[in-house]
Amino acid sequence: MTAAVALALKRLTVMREGERRALDGVVLSIRPGERVAVIGPSGAGKTTLLRVLATALRQTDGSVEILGTDPWALDAGARRRLRARIGLIHQAPPLPPRQRVVTAVLAGRLGSWPLWKALVSLAYPLDMAGARAELARLDLSDRLFDRCDRLSGGQAQRVGIARVLYQQPELILADEPVSALDPALANHTVGVLAAEAQARGVTLFASLHAVDLALAHFPRIVGLRDGRVAFDLPTEQIDAQRLDQLYSQEGYLPTQEGRPFEASRNRPLQSPLCK
Partner 1 sequence: MKSAWLAGTALILGLVWASAAFLRLDPAGLFAAGTLGAFGKFVGEFFPPDLSAPFLSQIAWGTLETLAISAVATLLAALGGIMIALPAAGRFGPLPQLASRFVLNALRSIPELVFAALMVLAAGLGPFAGTLALALHTTGVLGRLFAEALENAPSEPADALVNSGASRVSVFFYATLPGVLPQCVAYSLYRWEINIRMAAVLGFVGAGGLGQMLYVSLSLFHSPQACSVILAMLLIVMLVDEASALLRRSMA
Q: List residues near partner 1 by CB under 8 A.
A: 54-56, 80-88, 90, 93-99, 103, 107-108, 110-113, 115, 118-119, 122, 164, 167, 169
Residue 115 or 129: which CB sits closer to partner 1? Answer: 115
Q: How far is the CB of 109 from partner 1 (least distance, A)?
A: 9
Query: Hey, how many other C-beta atoms are within 10 angstroms of the C-beta on 1?
Result: 10
Q: How far is the CB of 107 from partner 1 (least distance, A)?
A: 5
- Asked if 254 contacts 247 with a C-beta cutoff of 8 angstroms, the reply is no
Residue 29 or 99: which CB sits closer to partner 1? Answer: 99
Q: How far is the CB of 163 from partner 1 (least distance, A)?
A: 8
Q: How far is the CB of 212 from partner 1 (least distance, A)?
A: 29
Q: Tell me the three state secondary structure of residue 242.
A: helix
Q: How far is the CB of 144 from partner 1 (least distance, A)?
A: 17
Residue 166 or 218: which CB sits closer to partner 1? Answer: 166
- Asked if 55 contacts 66 with a C-beta cutoff of 8 angstroms, the reply is yes
- Asked if 170 contacts 193 with a C-beta cutoff of 8 angstroms, the reply is no
Question: DSSP for 17-60?
Answer: TTTEEEEEEEEEEE-TT-EEEEE--TTSSHHHHHHHHTTSS--S
- Asked if 59 contacts 13 with a C-beta cutoff of 8 angstroms, the reply is yes
Question: DSSP for 82-145?
Answer: HHTTEEEE-SS----TTSBHHHHHHGGGTTTS-HHHHHHHHHS-TTHHHHHHHHHHTT-GGGTT
Residues forming beta bridges with residue 234, ordered by sequence position: 220
Q: How far is the CB of 111 from partner 1 (least distance, A)?
A: 3
Q: How far is the CB of 65 from partner 1 (least distance, A)?
A: 17
Residue 163 or 217: which CB sits closer to partner 1? Answer: 163
Burial class (CB in 10 A: 0-12, 13-18, 19+), 240: exposed
Residue 30 or 88: which CB sits closer to partner 1? Answer: 88
Residue 141 or 168: which CB sits closer to partner 1? Answer: 168
The residue length of the chain stands at 275
Residue 76 or 274: which CB sits closer to partner 1? Answer: 76
Question: In whole angstroms, what separates CA 143 from the centre of its chain?
Answer: 25
